[in-house]
Structure 1
Amino acid sequence: MILSSPPVNTDPFLLEIDHLVIYTAEPIAAVSMLQELGLHSSSQTLRRNNQGTASTIFFFENIYLEIVWIEDYQKVQHYRTQTNIDILSRVNWKQTGASPFAIGLRQTTSLSRLPYGDDDNGISQRLNVNGWVNFASDNLATLSEPICYSISNLMALTTWLDNSSEEHQQLITHPLNIKKLTDLQITLTQHNLLTQAVSLLESHNLVSINRGTAPQLDLTFDHHQQGQYIDVRPILPLVLKY
């Protein structure tokens, strides 16, 4: 369970974006679309049996994007009972109005790389460690905004990513030639007051929160140097700028 993990320092100045999650009911179409648009994904499907979910991951130099879907509805319901995280509503966001996003945060300093393998299987072992630490319990129950949580150093991208590794270079190299996330904007569809967790991230410029008629994740890479724009909607509520 999330709250059983060792505590992580949540001083906002010590946190940065580690990864972003989009929950989807159309995983095949979503992953295929991103690949066709020029993003390279890990070949290993990551399964979190305790959640009843599976995912495909797209790695970049400073974050990764995880596309998550449901494989076992019974486990998803059990996970909700245990953690108050309603994955089913987020996957079915078009019907429920829930935010289909989650934000994983890491400490800005991390431990040295630990001895997992460099291939997709080794990376999956690391990311499947049960190391989430939620720092705002009210955020878990607020479906109108993204789930926010910090993770242990063991799971952080900066802990295991080795730029000198050929296998890792293959993971973060994309036909679109995009490298680093430089701006993050999230559109919410409801005008409720933000929980402290999301307000904290916004006030320290980790994310910009917009209001609109549909949820949307706007990711800007490399300060939009190429001047390009890709709209992945309606398959995913995602816009890429690079």
Structure 2
Amino acid sequence: MELDHIYICVGEKAPEGDALVEFGLVEGSSNTHPGQGTANRRFFFHNFMLELLWCVDPAEVRAKITRPIRLHEALLSPESDASRFGMGFRAENGDESDAPFPFVHYRPKYLPEPLSVQTGSQRPATEPNYFFLNFVQRPDPAEIKEPINHPNGLRFLTSVKVWLQQEVQLSDTAKLVSSLPGVEIDRADEQLIELEFDHGEQGLRRDFRPVLPLVITG
């Protein structure tokens, strides 16, 4: 499997996304998630998507059907230590039917039958929501119908580092994810994601803290 997209839980209507636009990213389309109680702002690249996710319906976020992805911990308890991140993976060669980590099936209303999101079931709240999309494959950049050519020149995600604010050891799922090429997960004093594009060939770096727990290099 390989990384498909990452989401970061943010405030209502994601004003944090304005900092990404100012940085030189072209924003793509947004959407809502009926039954899940969330909406997003999205930024697309040649092999990756960054999603800013916020709550539009607390009752749906807390609903029993939504519990497996534990968004209520990140979106409705901002002072908690719950991870604000989600890491979505796709089949690398289109031949993986199940996630390589323990999971439960999450079947949101916005997905047609029989599709489901295979959501990691053995992780502490301080770790990201790990989930596998066995119906998604790496996109052909020529076929992506979203803006992927940005004024700052960022194109391909080449590595991601995720720091977790937790004292306990990493879960087995986190260790497995961290063994993937270009992915590193470790513990630190704060929640933070660093995305590297194009192997850092431009020498570009932007730290979005405290607006977003995000650093982008390229």
Choose from 208, 211, 217 the match for 1:232: 208
Letter in structure 1 aligned against 2:206 = I
Letter in structure 2 aligned against 1:137 = S
Percentage identity across paired residues of the two chains: 29
TM-score (norm 1): 0.76
Q: How big is the shift at 1:89?
A: 2.2
The alignment of Structure 1 onto Structure 2 pairs a total of residues equal to 201
Give the unaligned 5+ runs of structure 2.
96-109
Distance in structure 1 (CA, Å) of the matches to 2:150 and 2:180: 30
Contact 1:98 1:143 (C-alpha < 8 Å) held by counterparts: yes
Between Structure 1 and Structure 2, the one with more helix by share is 1
Contact 2:164 2:192 (C-alpha < 8 Å) held by counterparts: yes
Distance in structure 2 (CA, Å) of the matches to 1:234 and 1:179: 25
Letter in structure 2 aligned against 1:95 = E
Map 1:195-210 onto structure 2 (within 5 A).
Answer: 195-210=171-186
Contact 1:218 1:239 (C-alpha < 8 Å) held by counterparts: yes
Distance in structure 2 (CA, Å) of the matches to 1:145 and 1:60: 25
Letter in structure 2 aligned against 1:221 = F
Match of 1:85 in 2: 69
Choose from 197, 209, 213 the match for 1:221: 197
Contact 1:97 1:144 (C-alpha < 8 Å) held by counterparts: yes
Q: How big is the shift at 1:61?
A: 0.7
Contact 2:87 2:131 (C-alpha < 8 Å) held by counterparts: yes
Q: How big is the shift at 1:232?
A: 0.9
Closer/same/farther in 2, CA of residues 82 and 59 from structure 1, 3 Å limit: closer
Give the unaligned 5+ runs of structure 1.
1-14, 112-127
Between Structure 1 and Structure 2, the one with more strand by share is 2
Contact 2:8 2:84 (C-alpha < 8 Å) held by counterparts: yes
Choose from 85, 88, 96 the match for 1:104: 88
Distance in structure 2 (CA, Å) of the matches to 1:226 and 1:92: 38
TM-score (norm 2): 0.84
Choose from 42, 50, 56 the match for 1:65: 50
Structure 2 counterpart SS, 1:58:
strand
